Structure 1
Amino acid sequence: MKKLILSVLFIAGALAAKAEGISSPSGKLTLNFEVAENGMPVYEVSYKNQAVIKPSKMGLELKNERNLQDGFKLIKTSNSEFDETWQPVWGETKNIRNHYNELLVELEQTDTQRFMNIRFRVYDDGVGFRYEFPQQKNLVYFVVKEEHTQFAMTGDHTAWWIPGDYDTQEYDYNESKLSEIRGLMQGAITGNASQTTFSPTGVQTSLQMKTADGFYINLHEAALVDYSCMHLNLDDKNFVFESWLTPDAQGDKGYLQSPCHTPWRTVMVSDDAREILASNLILNLNDPCKYADTSWIKPVKYIGVWWEMIAGGKPWAYTFDLPSVKLGETDYTKVKPNGIHPANNANVKNYIDFAAKHGFDQILVEGWNIGWEDWFGHNKDYVFDFLSPYPDFDIKALNEYAHSKGVRLLMHHETSSSVRNYERHMEAAYQLMNKYGYNAVKSGYVGNIIPRGEHHYGQWMNNHYLYAVTEAAKYKIMVNAHEAVRPTGLCRTYPNLIGNESARGTEYEAFGGSKPFHTTILPFTRLQGGPMDYTPGIFEMDMSKLNPNNNAHVNTTLHAN
């Protein structure tokens, strides 16, 4: 690894209102910052001498306190250069260059004597910036009511977007002008097990746009840790996006304690869409790997017992005889099996044989554990124990059979969004995986979050997702989380976060599919933050052949002969 750090310190006068502008290493991209007359921080970005982000306001609104949006004076700026080459544990690129120029702006709110810093990192392919709050006596514990970071566009750009939502990303992508989002929003919102939209012009990141001049702009965030997920709310008269955080059950959007900082807000810019696709800006803004030993982390190809439930109408449940289940009380030996439960010994062995023959590494088995008879829609706290298999699933024998064939089973933990229940069983569940040789888990968070009122993308849940990943690392387990918050490059820091769903996935093909371009847009949007478990590989396009009650047809570029 080669690293070069050059630092130069600039001290601004007490009455100065404008910091020096800063350019990317090649000079293609320039960022300017100033403190406006009312003491409000403002930034702007240009690419190849053309504006791409017009002057945009910055700051945070606090709950029951003076805001952190205005009344600031500039007390110091620092410039530095950083250049390194690092190697990810896994990924498309062996060597990643992290080369940027940095501007650190230190501000004081004069009437409160509170301090807020803004750190800008300017790359050739974009900008990252975040708010930082040093330790100080007048700002210790504070609650964020809203973050007011603006991204002022230069015109009515073409955008590829999905509706802003606190609980799901499982929407089909839309292509439209910014001015058309409001008119298309109602039709863009399709049903889901849990969803909470918030605005007729609210969209999710990563947001991809194209200007009339041929520039591509992508807005997202990096290193989402201990903070709420950022959406974007559009002022469609002036084409100004503003950050919109996910609230908790009380409507609060973040609980902070100094010293601390927010995630990075990112702006990628290029006149070549391929450069947006190839950018490593999100990964570069995340911290280096936290693990000393990463030898156990390896991406895998897997097949799974799940499509026949989604498309074929077969149940995850073992029996139809139980109106409800109470773990520790329900006796499955006294009920009649339904006879079509796919997670059974014979069917799983067939999958194992197929995987061994065709070079797949693992076999996911959904519906292996007791409790699926009433798992969904009841806001049930104690729903699964993640330990107890159904009578027709011999966990010991099946794992031994898989290992004898040179493959593994992949664990499935559907939490039913009962997060406290998952955390109470997590240690024992990971120990069970170690006992039988599982090294990866697909977790799921279908339905409304318990405790009630929390959202999938709020600060509380984001902390849980990372807790699950770091706890899994103690047992050398890789995690593939479904229905979790969309990735923001944390796989660099915690590389056992091997993948996420966090998008409208392949199961929707069983319900009539997505737009033909949906899959081609995902690399420019969802995949900016990290790898995706999209589970492709459908070979039967007519769903009625799998289930006579399903008349859907998969949208595809293939044509039947």
Structure 2
Amino acid sequence: MKRILFRLFSTWLVLGLAACSGEQQYALQSPDGRIAVEIELNDRGQLHYSITRDRAEVLQPSQMGLVLNDRDLGSELRNLSAGPVNQVRDDYTMVQGKQRVIEYRANEQMYRVENTDGEILQIVLRVFDDGVAFRYRVPGDTQSEYELKEELTSFAFAADSRAWLQPMAEAQTGWANTNPSYEEHYQMDIPVGEASPSGAGWVFPALFHTGGGWALITEADMDGRYHASRLQAESPDGEYRIGYPMAPEKFTGGALMAQAELPLESPWRIIAIGDLPTIARSTLGTDLAEPAVSLMPWVKPGLASWSWALLKDASVNYETQKRFIDYSADMGWPYTLVDVNWDQNIGYEKIAELADYAAQKNVRLLLWYNSSGAWNKTEYTPKGALLERDKRRLEFARLQQMGIAGVKVDFFAGDGQSMIAYYRDILEDAADFELLVNFHGATLPRGWQRTFPNLMTMEAVRGMEFITFGQGAADRAPGHMAMLPFTRNVFDPMDFTPTAFSEIPNIDRRTSNGFELALPVLFLSGLQHIAETDEGMAGVPQYVRDYLGHIPSVWDESRLLDGYPGKFAVMARRNGDTWYIAGINGEEEARRLQLDLSFIGPRAGELITDGNTPREFTRSEVETGSAVAVEISGHGGFAMKFPGENLARN
């Protein structure tokens, strides 16, 4: 990885104005000149920013500032000044996700303002060709401690803008008091200003459609000293404000709000901007994350078998898990996940036997853990084994000695500063013992997969398990899943645990088999846990098994070919010289598409889609071109594969 910062002298990039009213204003543009951000200190001492794209408004004047326990850096501000404009260039490599090798550039400028006591607030602004990001800095003596009382950041949208937002569940609600876990359905195409049905607000990423294009808001670079944020429930006149975790969302006895020693540095506030293909391919969520703490060459993404998805608790026994190891081996998948209560139902000694058995078949085990202490009422075990660092490291050392590949850690308390630090502590310790990590009942990753390459995935989604829990979730599943490629899964890996061809007990599954087949390519996750059982997989055609046996988990390139949030999505992804195309229809009516696949070049491939009924498949040959006709049945889907000669396997 390399980073070069150098000064730009192009005077058109920055404009300083001194109006008679006392207002001060600066402007910064993206490298391609299409996105512009204005920073303004008005005559009332309030700091605002606004954004345009191609001179069309994306954000109206929106507030900036912080209030700490010992200083107000949000009102009665003065003396706004700007440093030089620098160009930031960066390149890095990901071990999972939509793009393996990533390069970007941005224009960056630092602004400085002070309060009446001369205390300083700095704002670092970066403008990319596909969005805007800024963060706060408060300089000071490292012996001085701070606690954040309020962040004034807002995002003000014009009244005719529309929103696609997921409510945040209130803390200590839900099963065994396990909320919040980012597991609600998105409210789709609602007017800006509509209040959240939950007093806890709206989660990131938050999607908006404006006169200047689409805007997707999130945050990144969580170093463990700051809490995770959200949008407040109320947004009068379309102005959304940064919100905070609720009181219980913390480690027992830990801090809720951001606190540490000065200097303070907030996470990046990110607004990806553009058309839907631009939003879908944006890498701002990892561009602005902390670089990898180490390379971790032992990290291997891949697919996993998982009995619990459809067979639940009773399946966590020695014989069933041995069967699922055989299932992974037959499919060519590298992992099997052993879920809740394995320590009671199987035990450490027999798990070690299973690990040895799996190793003989080139399969490795992942083991489930309950993260929680006193913050919820869950009883699943192992519980509490990871709370204290010394005990956690002893546990991880034992797993490493047994040959376990990784851990799935569940039931976190929320977004408080001490809970964010707990996530990072687990990741750091797991890396020391070469363990992969999957967080469930969890917050949004916010770019951690770049910082910790061993972080394979996080749930933070209303995934497949909810479809198995009740008909209501199953009824909404097609549109819900067509929403996720434009929101939750844009920046971060998502453990939806997709793909079930079997009938789900007591549930009428609304998605077709073609729809389910598309999901492991459409959804991004370093570990892709397939919900279908061994017996169910045995009932599908061999060509379907062959297709699922060779799906990569890291891609060299990704393109949104067509789609609309909550309605349908068609994604193309390349691994080496092989292209995969996956599409789903979230609506009841059939949809006819003309796909431009000319970027692949002249090539023949296969198309697997729905047969005469939603529970059947059909396969045909397909050729690339500028207008490839595809029909997707209602709640249906398809998968295409165009093999290349140089497949870059994981």
Q: Which TM-score tier does this pair reach, normalised by the shorter chain? A: 0.7 to 0.9
Matched, 1:74 2:79: yes
Q: Distance in 2 between matches of 1:34 and 1:472?
A: 45
CA contact (8 A) 2:208 2:214 kept: yes
Matched, 1:441 2:407: yes
CA contact (8 A) 2:371 2:387 kept: no
Q: Distance in 2 between matches of 1:69 and 1:180?
A: 23
Q: Residue 554 of structure 1 aligns with which residue?
A: 509
Change (3 A) 1:431 1:52: same
- Structure 2 letter corresponding to 1:399: A
Higher mean C-alpha deviation, range 527-536 or range 26-35: 527-536
Shift of 1:25: 0.1
Q: Distance in 1 between matches of 2:108 and 2:461?
A: 33
Q: Residue 176 of structure 1 aligns with which residue?
A: 189
Q: Residue 281 of structure 2 aligns with which residue?
A: 278
Shift of 1:14: 11
TM-score by length of 2: 0.69
CA contact (8 A) 1:479 1:498 kept: yes
Quick one: which of 457, 461, 466 aligns to 2:424? Answer: 466
SS in 1 for 2:421: helix
String of CA shifts for 1:124-150, please: whole Å, max 9, x gaps.
11000011011249x932222221101
- Percent identity reads 26
Q: Distance in 2 between matches of 1:164 and 1:475?
A: 34
Matched, 1:407 2:363: yes
**Matching of residues 233-312 of structure 1 within 5 Å:** 233=232, 235-249=234-248, 253-270=257-274, 272-291=275-294, 293-310=295-312
Q: Distance in 1 between matches of 2:247 and 2:398?
A: 33
Q: Distance in 2 between matches of 1:411 and 1:251?
A: 29
Shift of 1:433: 1.1
CA contact (8 A) 1:88 1:95 kept: yes
Q: Residue 344 of structure 1 aligns with which residue?
A: 317
Shift of 1:71: 1.9
Change (3 A) 1:288 1:392: closer
- Structure 2 letter corresponding to 1:176: D
Shift of 1:362: 0.8
Shift of 1:158: 2.2
Q: Residue 215 of structure 2 aligns with which residue?
A: 217
Shift of 1:542: 4.0
- Structure 2 letter corresponding to 1:24: S
Change (3 A) 1:303 1:531: same
CA contact (8 A) 1:368 1:393 kept: no
Q: Distance in 2 between matches of 1:553 and 1:180?
A: 36
Q: Distance in 2 between matches of 1:86 and 1:267?
A: 21
**Matching of residues 47-446 of structure 1 within 5 Å:** 47-63=53-69, 65-74=70-79, 76-78=81-83, 79-109=85-115, 111-136=116-141, 140-165=144-169, 167-179=180-192, 181-182=194-195, 185-186=196-197, 197-198=198-199, 202-211=201-210, 213=211, 215-225=213-223, 226-233=225-232, 235-249=234-248, 253-270=257-274, 272-291=275-294, 293-310=295-312, 315=313, 341-370=314-343, 390=346, 394-417=350-373, 421-424=385-388, 425-445=391-411
String of CA shifts for 1:187-223, please: whole Å, max 9, x gaps.
xxxxxxxxxx425xx2111011223x47111111111
Q: Distance in 1 between matches of 2:349 and 2:163?
A: 48
Shift of 1:369: 3.5
Q: Residue 452 of structure 1 aligns with which residue?
A: none
String of CA shifts for 1:389-412, please: whole Å, max 9, x gaps.
645971221111111111111121
Q: Residue 500 of structure 2 aligns with which residue?
A: 538
Q: Distance in 2 between matches of 1:485 and 1:305?
A: 24
Q: Residue 40 of structure 2 aligns with which residue?
A: 34
Shift of 1:121: 0.4
- Structure 2 letter corresponding to 1:461: M
Q: Residue 525 of structure 1 aligns with which residue?
A: 487
SS in 2 for 1:353: helix
- Structure 1 letter corresponding to 2:207: Q
CA contact (8 A) 1:12 1:74 kept: no
Q: Residue 540 of structure 2 aligns with which residue?
A: none
Q: Distance in 1 between matches of 2:167 and 2:351?
A: 41
SS in 1 for 2:333: coil
Q: Distance in 2 between matches of 1:391 and 1:143?
A: 44
Moved over 6 A (4+): 9-16
CA contact (8 A) 1:39 1:73 kept: yes
SS in 1 for 2:478: coil
Change (3 A) 1:105 1:87: same
Q: Which protein is richer in strand relative to its size? A: 2
Q: Residue 547 of structure 1 aligns with which residue?
A: none
Change (3 A) 1:557 1:156: farther
SS in 1 for 2:495: coil
Q: Distance in 1 between matches of 2:406 and 2:347?
A: 23
CA contact (8 A) 1:417 1:444 kept: no
Q: Distance in 2 between matches of 1:251 and 1:198?
A: 21
CA contact (8 A) 1:119 1:129 kept: yes
Q: Residue 553 of structure 2 aligns with which residue?
A: none
Higher mean C-alpha deviation, range 230-239 or range 48-57: 230-239
Higher mean C-alpha deviation, range 228-237 or range 50-59: 228-237
SS in 2 for 1:403: helix
CA contact (8 A) 1:14 1:75 kept: no
SS in 2 for 1:238: helix
CA contact (8 A) 1:19 1:77 kept: no
- Structure 1 letter corresponding to 2:123: I
> How many equivalent residue pairs?
480
CA contact (8 A) 2:221 2:268 kept: yes
String of CA shifts for 1:159-178, please: whole Å, max 9, x gaps.
22111335221111221322
- Structure 2 letter corresponding to 1:221: E
Q: Distance in 2 between matches of 1:392 and 1:2?
A: 44
CA contact (8 A) 2:131 2:271 kept: yes
Change (3 A) 1:134 1:426: same
String of CA shifts for 1:9-44, please: whole Å, max 9, x gaps.
999899974243110000010011011112211111
- Structure 2 letter corresponding to 1:140: S
String of CA shifts for 1:451-489, please: whole Å, max 9, x gaps.
xxxxx1111101100110011111111111111210111
TM-score by length of 1: 0.80
Q: Distance in 1 between matches of 2:29 and 2:407?
A: 43
Shift of 1:66: 4.1
Shift of 1:235: 4.7
Q: Distance in 2 between matches of 1:19 and 1:237?
A: 25
SS in 2 for 1:20: strand
- Structure 2: stretches of 5+ with no match in the other structure: 172-179, 249-253, 376-383, 514-613, 617-650
Q: Residue 320 of structure 1 aligns with which residue?
A: none
Change (3 A) 1:418 1:303: farther
CA contact (8 A) 1:156 1:177 kept: no
Q: Distance in 2 between matches of 1:436 and 1:82?
A: 45
- Structure 2 letter corresponding to 1:215: G
